């Protein structure tokens, strides 16, 4: 986010906030994973996925990725809940 970049439209700004919020939620959920090796693997995976899609600009594709990310987050949270019970 250096100088020379065009400002985000309100829609892009909101989408970016959604993506960052999802990323933080995923990392927070991963912290609950008991095994350190699994935790590290999931952190690397999440970081790579977000980095790989960093330059996506197609609105529909971004919306779809956010939806998929939320589904994966819910799956992780369900798995962690089951592991604790």
**DSSP assignments along 23-79, one per residue:** HHHHHHHHTT-SSHHHHHHHHHHHHHHHHHTTT---HHHHHHHHHHHHHHHHHHHHH
The yes-or-no verdict on residue 78 having pLDDT over 90 is yes
2 falls within a domain? no
pLDDT at 10: 92
Residue 19 lies in a domain: yes
Q: Is residue 15 assigned to a domain? A: yes
% residues pLDDT > 70 (the chain): 95
* 32 inside domain: yes
Residue-number span of the structural domain to which 73 is assigned: 10-84
Average pLDDT over residues 72-85: 93
Q: Answer whether residue 75 is part of any domain.
A: yes
Domain total of the chain: 1
The answer to whether residue 1 sits within a structural domain is no
């Amino acid at each position: 986010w250096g100088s020379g970049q065009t400002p985000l439209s309100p829609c892009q700004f909101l989408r970016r906030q959604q993506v960052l919020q999802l990323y933080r939620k995923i990392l927070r959920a991963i912290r609950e994973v008991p095994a350190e090796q699994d935790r590290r693997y999931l952190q690397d995976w999440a970081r790579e996925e977000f980095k790989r899609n960093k330059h996506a600009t197609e609105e529909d594709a971004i919306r779809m990725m956010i939806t998929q990310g939320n589904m994966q987050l819910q799956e992780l949270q369900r798995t962690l809940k089951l592991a604790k019970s």
